[in-house]
Amino acid sequence: MINDDEILRRIDERNHHRKKRWLLALSVIFVVFLVSVGIGVKIVSDKQQAERVEHTKMVKIVEEHKGEIEEWVREDDKHNFVKKITIDQSRTDHNPMGGVNFYGYVNGDESLGFNGTIGKGSSGIHVGSMGFRKKLSDNFALPSTEE
């Protein structure tokens, strides 16, 4: 016959084993969670690094063609209104149709903005198109391509 102390001891032993299993299961879940978070952080970090490298390449392309961009802007400047041209490198991005989009402004005034695309054509890489904000095109006496 089992006495009361033996029953209590067995119950305590069973409870102790259950607690150990739960602690082990929670530990495994926690480790899996930490590993998953670590992998996620690594993936995001690698993606951000790749985007920075890609952006740097696009900015370099725009800088290499800055003279051509300035020629396009000044070509429409019949009254010598443009004193300074600024390319906003932070807004340089990939064009979904291929090439690189760039944005800039003249005379230090962002409301006198322009944008364009540098792409690859049959004669190599060149400025493919340009557009001027209304305020800038008004100074050039051109029709506006953007509000």
Check whether 127 has a pLDDT greater than 80: yes
Vertex 144, ends 105 and 140: CA angle to 5°?
65
Separation between Cα atoms, residue 62 and residue 68, nearest integer Å: 10
Domain boundaries, the chain: 4-141
Could you give the residue ranges of the DSSP H alpha helices within the chain? 4-64, 66-75, 134-140
Q: Per-residue pLDDT averaged across 49-65, rounded?
A: 93
Per-residue pLDDT for 71 more than 50? yes
Q: Is the pLDDT of residue 147 over 50?
A: no
Q: Name the range with the highest mean pLDDT among 5-9, 26-30, 139-143.
A: 26-30
- Any idea which residue has 């800039």 for tokens? 104
User: According to the model, what pLDDT value does residue 144 have?
Assistant: 47
36-45, 49-58, 113-122: range with lowest mean pLDDT = 113-122
Is the predicted pLDDT of residue 109 greater than 70, yes or no? yes
Mean pLDDT of the chain: 88
